[in-house]
Structure formats: structure tokens, C-alpha cells
Amino acid sequence: MKRVAFLILLLILLVGIGINTGQIDVSNVGKFLQQNQQTILPGLDQIKVVEEESVVTDVVEKVSPSVVTISISRSRSIGSIFEIDPFDPFGSFRSPGRREPIQQDIGSGFIVSADGLIVTNKHVVSDTTAKYRVVTSDDKTFETQQIYRDPVNDLAIIKINATGLKPVTLGDSAKMKVGQRAIAIGTALGEFRNTVTVGVISGLGRGITAGSPFEGYVERLDNVIQTDAAINPGNSGGPLLNSAGQVIGVNVAVASEGQSIGFALPINLVKESLTEFNKNGGKFQRPYLGVQYKMITRDLALLNDVPEGAYVQDVVPDSPAEKAGIDSEDIITKINGQKVTEKDGGLSSIIAKSKVGDTVTLEIWREGETKEIKVTIGEYSGE
């Protein structure tokens, strides 16, 4: 950087001398600089390339120790086979199959606290019957002590028994701009650990359908970051970084319809979830209304001369819905003025964005009349 500053000052001095002596026409300064760039500033292009490369290598060196691989332990069945009966050379019998344990890398994550909290995608650890392990960049393996799955977002927090880990630095996804550099680190294809890819942020506020071929999981995600930094299955849960080495997103692999583009959840969403997690004593709260319902589409509403919304089939006893006076056969059409429609995710999508303890206003249609009912959102305590 000192060399660049010196060369720029030298350039200014030379141009000034040239103008004063009449050797350079002021109107042709731009052309002069272009023609004489290599003479005046030899190696400037090389300096620029070296600086760009050093930014990426510095980020990778800084953050890689904080990136982990998530692996799953499960068993698979080995089919039965025919074997020769040793007591009858002309006879055979079927040997029953057996189950063989396997260990497979399926995703990525990153450390957010020195005492063993790790962020990943919920779909990476979606199998509640399986056992998961965390492998650090220096090949140390830890059994997961606890997995906390966010009921609202595609996020999960894994707790391992460890100390002295190196946490990442969380950035601010609200300050992102299209075109800025994006660096992704993760276990590409569930096989190549600590793979680094580089690109730019190519879009913001996207809505996609994404998932993991390893877990057979697909989910609709809104307001995600789009990047051309290669993100492959197995990168899910890993960090998307800016040039300062700050995490600006959580990679969620590729869109089902995407071509050479990847997506990430904004890090501010993670920060909100972590705040809630810590505030509630190390757990996530799940907002709860307490109705079983079926969505009435626009076409179905027109056909039956009823409003579009959520048709209540049953009300859970002692639930917030029952306490507020919601009945079976009610149609919930709006919540706090927002229409309840299938294309926007239905009733569950709106309730999921509420917070436990919030009081919301439901607009319901009952026997041809529209009513407003206030409901205090409860916390779901089941699995």
C-alpha cells in the first residue's frame, strides 16, 4: 500500500510538470495516462491482482478454523444372500441380511461460541432418530450433546462438549450490496471438506425452493441471498463471508431450479434466532394457535361463495384459539390485517412469524358475518 501511495504521488508530480511545461495538454490528460500507465506506474496491475488474491486467502486463513463438517451415523441393510449348504452340496439356503453402520458427511456448520455452539441448517440435522457428529478443521471429532431446531427458520444450533474453540465474526446482512465479493466455505458434495469458492452477491431478497439431496428435504425460503459463488450439496450450513471475513449468510445449497447459482440465509436472521435462543435459556420457542385447518383457495372460495382463508376443522382444547372463542367451521381470513392465502404460505406461515405472547387480531368469517377476535399466541410444547 505504501508503494502504491508513492507511485500515485509520483504520477501527480509528473503530470503537473508536464502541464506546466506545456508537454501535456490538459484536455488529453486521460489519454496520456492511459498510454503511459505502464511507464509511469509499472506493475500496478500486478499489485492489484496480488491484493485481490490476498483478501481471499486472508479470509480463508482467518475463518477456516471456525468451519466444521456435520456427519451422520446410521445403519443400512445388507441384503440376504444364497449360501451353499455344507451338508448338502446340491442344496442351498438363504442367509438373512444384516445391518451395517455407516458414517457420512452431509453438511457444514460454523462455530459461534468458544464453548461449543455451532450453527447449521435445520435440514442438515432433520432426522431426529439419527446420531450426528461434528468434525473440526483439524480433524477432531465431537459427538453432539444436543441439537436445537428452529421451528420457524431453516436453522439449527448444535451443542458439543468443547472449550477454546474459535468463533466466527457475524456481519450485518442489512448492509450487503449486489456486486460485493462473496466467499463460501464448506464440505462440498459431502466429501471435500473445507472447500473454498469465490464469487459475488448477485441478488438480494430472493424466494426459492431449496433442500438437501442427502436428507430428502425441501422447503420454501424467502428473502435469501443469491450468489454465484459455487454452493454444492454438503455446503449447506456453512458460512457465506464478505471480504472482511465476517459471516453474512448461511449457505442453503442450490435452488431446485437454479443453474450455477447458490443461496444463503441472511446472517441477521441467525442473530435474531441466537438472541431468542439465549434469552429463552437455550431453546427455541414455537408460536402456537391451536387449530386444525384446511386452506380455501381463491377458486374454491368463488365456487362455494365463501371467503378465501383458513377453514377451521377443529380447535385444540385449552389452546389459545379455544380461549379466544374460535369455533370449528370459522374461516380465518386475516391476521393483523394480512390476508391468509395459500400462495403466501397459509395460516402456519403467518403464525410462525409471530412471537410467543404476542396479541394478534384475527378477522374471521362465521355464518355469513365477519368478526374480529383477539388471540394471544401461545408456546407449543410438543415435538
CA distances for 107 relative to 122, 162, 244, angstroms: 10, 20, 24
> Which stretches of 216-366 are assigned E, i.e. beta strand?
217-227, 239-241, 246-254, 262-266, 287-288, 291-296, 309-315, 331-335, 338-339, 359-366
Q: What is the DSSP string of 78-114?
A: EPPEEEE-TT-TT-EEEEPPEEEEEEEEEEEEEEEET
Residue 154 annotated to the active site = yes
* Cell matching residue 198: 469465490
Place of cell 380447535: 315
- Choose, from 108, 173, 212, 236, the residue flagged as catalytic: 236
CA distances for 151 relative to 10, 131, 266, 351, angstroms: 61, 20, 17, 11
Residue 123 annotated to the active site = yes
Q: Whole-angstrom Cα distance, residue 363 to residue 373?
A: 6
Q: End-to-end alpha-carbon separation of the chain, Å?
A: 57
Residue 139 annotated to the active site = no
**Which residues are identified as catalytic?**
123, 154, 236
